[in-house]
Structures are given as structure tokens and as C-alpha cells.
Amino acid sequence: MMPPYPIPPTDLLLMRRALELAALGGPATRPNPQVGCVIADAAGNILAEGWHRRYGGPHAEVEAVTALFARPDAPSSLAGMRVFVTLEPCAHHGKTPPCADLLIRHGATEVVVATLDPNPLVGGRGAARLRAAGCAVTVGLLAEEARWLNRRFFSAQERARPWVVLKWAQSADGFLAAAAAEPPVPANVTSAVGRPTAISGEAARRLVHRWRTEEAAILVGATTARTDNPRLDARYWPGPAPVRMVLTGTRALPPNLHLLAYNEPETLLLDGADLPAALAALHARGLHSVLVEGGARVLNSFLAADFWDEIRVLTNSTLRLHAGVTAPQLPPAARLLRTTRLADDLVAEYRR
Ligand code: AOF
Ligand code: ZN
């Protein structure tokens, strides 16, 4: 059942709050979704809040119900309360007992859900169980926002492939790197192998490290691994570092590269000739998203195969390279989500 039209503005506010709480879970919930829960009284006053804080920890509903009954003025049950939760309450015994049962046990009479849980273990069963117990369940309030928040989780559950974020940094004149050959470089040279070139400023680099904490894996091609010798960690932002991956060709990588020399956790080497297999390997490891950081060949191969969900482009507006490795072209399906300016760098984020 979709929410009644018109949607009461208070319901929107309460579900938005639940989504804010969900986002506090951040990468710590991986590979679980980020879930938030708000319990309000019949008038719409928030009495308790909760969110899924970390993988294996209590679910959002458990946190909120516990907070509610810890109040000195706690109600005797959930009867007459309004429970807002960003994901359908679970119906399965996972690391924790089913949230639907918890809500029923406490006499819940109204639950508002943003989206059903795509997990086949749940998939509508939580809502059905609540309804069977006489609880009114509404599904679909701010569903799009809730799906976006957990886009990586939904991608894994619904498409059995990771959410793919392509990222590159380019000069104002559209180059990823200066040409490998030292000048003089003919103006028409667009080599695929460049020189390691610092494109972005300090703030943009820090933002990229934040992005790295937000995705489960990070991937570059063998040429980038060789030429740039990147670490691909997240040392400029608190949070988990992504699992590092290199798409390799036929040549072995030099073992003294940072990616191989500092091999804890292990850098995975995947076959660059078979992108579907590489993505399947990520999915099989429970990695729900990947940040693809280059180089040109790898980015273009993801674009050509249409394996992308978001594209983020950092453009240094003051740097001109005149020649070198040409930046990929944005695909026609890319829609600008937002732009941000960080000193000289323009950050453009696209989705489909
Ligand atoms: C909820 N509320 O806050 C979350 C849910 O292993 P477990 O017990 O933690 O269960 C993980 C699954 O439960 C996860 O895949 C997803 O389907 C659901 N997550 N459900 O009711 C929550 N985090
Ligand atoms: Zn649950």
C-alpha cells in the first residue's frame, strides 16, 4: 500500500529524520544496509530514535524501542505509537532476532516503512507478518530517498553486482595526465600512458579519500598501478579503507609497487579482459560497491560496457596540460546531480 495522498507533512518530516539517523550508520554497517527508526506518539512528537550502528549490531528498531522504554515517561506498549522505519522490519533470524516480532510483541499498531527489504530472506515477509498481527503497515514513504541511501545494498540484492562509481580528475583542458614522452610533444598526441601528474588540490584529494571510505572496494588498471604507484588507501579521512583491486593484463606487476608491497589486506588481481567476471568476483566477496579510479583505459572499458552507476569528475580549473592522456567522455545517460567547488577544483557528480 502506498502512503495516502496527500501525505501528511508531519509523516514526511518524521521519515526524513529516520533517513538522517540511518545515514549515521555509514560504512560501519557494511554489508548490511543503513537503517533508521523514529517512534512518535499519535500527535507526531518524537519519543525515541535509533539506527543500525554497525554490522552485527542491533537493528534500528531494537535501538529505538530500547530508547523508548528507557524513558522515565515510557508508554506501557507500542499501542497508539507510530513507528517510522526506513527499511521494512526484518522477519528472519540473522545476527539478531526478527524486528517484526519485536514490534508485534510490544503491541505495535502502526508502522510506516520507506521501502521493502530486497533481501530475499525478508522481501515483504516483515510487512506481511506485522499486518497478520493486526498492525497497520504503510510502505513507500520517501522510498526513492531510502533506496538511494542504500543503493549499494539494493544493487547487490537486486542485480547481483556491485554499485559502480567511476571517478577521474582532469585538467581544465580535459587531460588525465601529461604525455609520457617529455616535451616537445606534438599537439595531436593522445597517448594512453601518461606521466604521473598531480591534478587535484589538497581539499579535493581529501574528498576522494572520504569517497574511498564510502565504497567497499577500489579498482585501478595495471597501467595506473605501474605509472602512478598509488596506495589506494583512505589515510586522509576516518573510516574503513576499501579493498584494493587491480585489473591486470598479461604482464606481471613489479612486486615493489605500493599495492603489492603493502599487501595487508591483500590487493586482489582481476582479469582486465573480462569485466563481468571481475564484477562477479567482487559480488562473490560480499563487496557491494567499487570506486573505479582509472586510468583512461579502465574507465573507458567500464563506460563502453555500460557498467557504471555514478560518475564523479574533479576538474582543476587553473591547470592546462595541452597534451597527454585524454579524459573519458561523459556518456549521454549521465545526469548532473550536483557540483561543488573546492578551491581550484570543480567537483561534478553524475548519476543515471
Ligand atoms: C531491519 N533493521 O536496522 C537492519 C535490517 O544479520 P542481521 O540480523 O544483522 O540481518 C541483516 C539483514 O537484516 C540485512 O541483510 C537486511 O536484510 C536486514 N537489515 N533490518 O529490520 C535494521 N539493518
Ligand atoms: Zn531487523
280 vs 284: CA distance, rounded Å: 6
23, 29, 30, 33: CA torsion to nearest 10:
-60
How high is the pLDDT of residue 264?
80
Per residue in 192-207, pLDDT (tens digit) is 577 878 999 999 999 9
Considering only CA atoms, which residue is closest to atom 21 of ligand 1?
A: 89
How high is the pLDDT of residue 251?
85
Cβ 50 under 6 angstroms from ligand 1: no
Atom of ligand 1 nearest to the CA of 90: 21
Please count the other Cβ atoms lying within 10 Å of the Cβ belonging to residue 162.
27
Q: Which of 330, 334, 303, 335 is nearest to 315 (CA)?
A: 330
Find the ligand nearest to 117 CA: 1
Atom of ligand 1 nearest to the CA of 55: 9
How high is the pLDDT of residue 192?
56
How high is the pLDDT of residue 80?
97
Q: Output the pTM of the full model.
A: 0.92
Q: Compute the mean pLDDT over every residue in the chain, rounded to the nearest whole number.
A: 93
115 vs 160: CA distance, rounded Å: 19
Cβ 124 under 6 angstroms from ligand 1: no
How high is the pLDDT of residue 249?
84
On the question of pLDDT at 1 being above 80, the answer is: no
Cβ 105 under 6 angstroms from ligand 1: no
